[in-house]
Structure 1
Amino acid sequence: MDRRSRLRRLAGVGTRFLIVGGISTLIEVGAFNLFVYAFGWDLVVGKIAASLVALVNAYIGNREWAFRGRDRRGRVAEIVLFVAVNLVCTGLGAGIVWLGADVVEGMTGHAPGPAMVNLINLGSIAVIVLVRFVLYHYIVFRHTPKPAPATADTSRDA
């Protein structure tokens, strides 16, 4: 496959991944605000819980649409890898939210308000989108190249 075809295919997968991610982001932001501002949860706990809620949509959308043409390993193994990648990404996202809120508090002398917290949260999501795509592409929904077709042996012993 030539380079242009690979880039076109990657762009298609990337576009579908971003659409699934956009929907998952809306779910995550809505759940985050519900947990933090309606239920009064801690920022980090709210971030982790919201990420886990959005995870269900992300798995189904990515497995069945964005990466649908990829090899299917055993469902359990795939889910374990998906959850492992997302645990790492959720931890990284929560760390970014914690660090961002801490930096803002250190700079301003008071805890950030809802608008700033949501900006920090969206920034963490932007970073995590890139990390997730790479990990999904190369680890979770991997693409195994098809073996080259066997060629007929033309060097027969006579």
Structure 2
Amino acid sequence: MNPPSRIRRIASVGSRFLVVGALSTIIEVGVFNLLVFVWGWDVVAAKIVASLVALVNAYIGNREWTFRHRDRRGRVSEVTLFLVTNAVCTAIGAVLVWVGVEAVGAVLGREPGAVAVNLVNLTSIVIVVLLRFVLYHGIVFRVAPTK
């Protein structure tokens, strides 16, 4: 495959991934805000639960649209890799939120408000989205080996 064709293919897959990710982000941010600001949950617990809720949309969207052209390994194997990948990414996101909220609180000298907490959460989402794309593209929804 020549370089321009490869770049176009990655850009196409990447743009579909970003659409699925945008929907998952809306779901995640909505659930996160509900849990933290309506029901008073801790930010780390809320981050984990919100990520898990958004995961359902992410799996279906990525399997059936973004990476539909990729080989399907056994469903159990694929779902297992997807869940392990996302467990790692969710843990990284939770740590980023925890560290970010603590850092903002230290800088402000008080508990950060909703805007600051959401900026930290969105920053963690951007970082984790980049990691997820690399892992989905290279491991979870892999290209079939050449025969």
> Which bracket does the TM-score occupy, shorter chain normalised?
over 0.9
1:140-155 paired onto structure 2 within 5 Å: 140-147=140-147
Distance 1:125 1:34 in 2: 17
Residue in 2 aligned with 1:88? Answer: 88
Residue in 2 aligned with 1:153? Answer: none
Distance 2:61 2:121 in 1: 22
Residue in 2 aligned with 1:156? Answer: none
Distance 2:11 2:25 in 1: 20
Residue in 1 aligned with 2:79? Answer: 79
Distance 1:78 1:99 in 2: 31
1:1-158 paired onto structure 2 within 5 Å: 1-147=1-147
CA-CA distance at 1:107 after TM superposition: 1.2
Unaligned 5+ runs, structure 1 = 148-158
Distance 2:115 2:121 in 1: 10
The one-letter code matched in structure 2 to 1:106 is: A
Distance 1:129 1:137 in 2: 12
Alignment RMSD:
0.7
Number of corresponding residues = 147
CA-CA distance at 1:111 after TM superposition: 1.0
**TM-score (norm: length of structure 2):** 0.98
Distance 1:139 1:25 in 2: 22
State the identity %.
61
The one-letter code matched in structure 1 to 2:25 is: T
Structure with the greater relative contact order (CA < 8 A, sep ≥ 6): 1 or 2?
A: 2
Structure number with the higher helix fraction is 2
**TM-score (norm: length of structure 1):** 0.91
CA-CA distance at 1:145 after TM superposition: 4.5
Distance 1:100 1:130 in 2: 18
Distance 1:145 1:139 in 2: 12
The one-letter code matched in structure 1 to 2:142 is: R
The one-letter code matched in structure 2 to 1:9 is: R
Which one has the largest radius of gyration?
Answer: 1
